[in-house]
Amino acid sequence: MALFTRKNCPALALVILSLILPLVITNKYFMHVIIMGYIWAIAVYGLNIILGYTGQTALGHAGFMGIGAYTAGLLNLKLGLSFWPAMVLACLFTAFLGWLAGIVSLRTRGHYFSIFTLCVGVIIHVVITRWDDLTGGMNGLIGISGPPPAGPVSFDSLQAQYYLVLFFLLATIFVAGRVVNSLVGRTLTAIKTSEELTEVLGINTMKNKIFAFVLATFFAGLAGALYAGYIKFLGPQMCSVSMTFDMLLYLFVGGNGTIAGPLIGSLVLSTITESLQVVQEYRTVIFGPILIVLIIFFPRGLYGGYEILRDRIRRRLPAREAPEGAKEEVC
């Protein structure tokens, strides 16, 4: 079997492009925008697992990203842990809190679940804002250390930080893809389609939903830890409810329930956001009509629209019969 077939050639091309990108883009500001887009994409992939594939509208996702960021920052500043163990502990602690929140919140359904998770996000934001002795309150945390060298590899340069974030992004996409294409992923999709029917078939829907919620919060914690190590400053605004709605916007614009959607939406909208810094107060006015148009004409986002266009083109092309016993063409 060929390792790189025509089916996965586009993914291979995108990986190669992402690897050579720092060699092409020399502007540090553009590199910063791309790195931030990658970090947001990791968090949005978590949101895509619980919302896009499981159908549970979680509205406290930015709060869990904040937990991951502040846990990593506090472990570094208060206990003197370096970035690597702080990141691992931050991810595990965020996933543990996600498990606790999931056990309670997933007993509700529909709008009640959305309201419950929204309240969880608000509580996290309020605790981070008000607990001055621990989190610094509105002043935030300053002076967080970045990742130390891993053997001969140093992360002092912007290019090295880009490749570090890219590595965790690719790992996130790989894990998300394996989960989605596994039996667990098909079970999550079945829950989204009809939870009642899935229960009738004898499937433990609660167990699968908790798994999706824990995985989503783990990705959020990873994104938060990377954010803390890259920015080296944390403020409560990064875990506000408005950031959760930004992530929802990234997901819906890129493609809800698709593997490529979170990355596309995060890169496109984070770039547009940075380009509109002068008119930040009117951002909602600008993004609102864009979202309405996408929902009407591309309900599955940009990537979903691409898939529809691709399928239409394929149907119009004359079918070519493959020779008997022919192997799948490689790229």
Domain assignment of residue 132, yes or no: yes
Domain assignment of residue 1, yes or no: no
Query: What pTM was estimated for this model as a whole?
Result: 0.90
Residue ranges making up the domain that contains 255: 6-316
Q: What is the CATH number of the domain that holds 191?
A: 1.10.3470
Domain assignment of residue 331, yes or no: no
Given a cut of 90, whether residue 39 has pLDDT beyond it is yes
Number of domains in the chain: 1
Domain assignment of residue 77, yes or no: yes
Please give the structure tokens belonging to residue 287: 């993004």
Instruction: Say what angle helices 111-130 and 83-105 make with each other, to 10 degrees.
Output: 140
Confidence category of residue 155, pLDDT binned at 50, 70, 90: confident
pLDDT given for residue 3 in this prediction: 40
The segment with the largest mean pLDDT, out of 144-153, 269-278, 279-288, 294-303, is 144-153
The segment with the largest mean pLDDT, out of 208-217, 234-243, 282-291, is 208-217
Domain assignment of residue 323, yes or no: no
Given a cut of 90, whether residue 4 has pLDDT beyond it is no
Domain assignment of residue 329, yes or no: no
Element of type H or E holding 233? strand 233-234
pLDDT tens per residue across span 175-200:
999 999 999 999 999 999 998 899 99
- Placement of tokens 């002076």 in the chain: 143
Looking at per-residue pLDDT, the higher value among 311 and 251 belongs to 251
Domain assignment of residue 324, yes or no: no
Angle, CA 169 vertex, CA 163 and CA 207 arms, to 5°: 155
Distance CA 225, CA 240 (A): 16
192-196, 228-232, 244-248, 301-305: least confidently modelled range: 301-305
Read off the amino acid at residue 276. L
- Do residues 50 and 212 make contact, with C-beta atoms less than 8 angstroms apart? yes
Q: In this structure, what DSSP letter does residue 317 have?
A: S
Domain assignment of residue 267, yes or no: yes
Element of type H or E holding 173? helix 158-180
pLDDT tens per residue across span 76-121:
999 999 999 999 999 999 999 999 999 999 999 889 999 999 999 9
- Placement of tokens 């989503």 in the chain: 216
Q: What is the mean pLDDT of residues 204-231?
A: 96
Distance CA 217, CA 50 (A): 9
Given a cut of 60, whether residue 6 has pLDDT beyond it is no
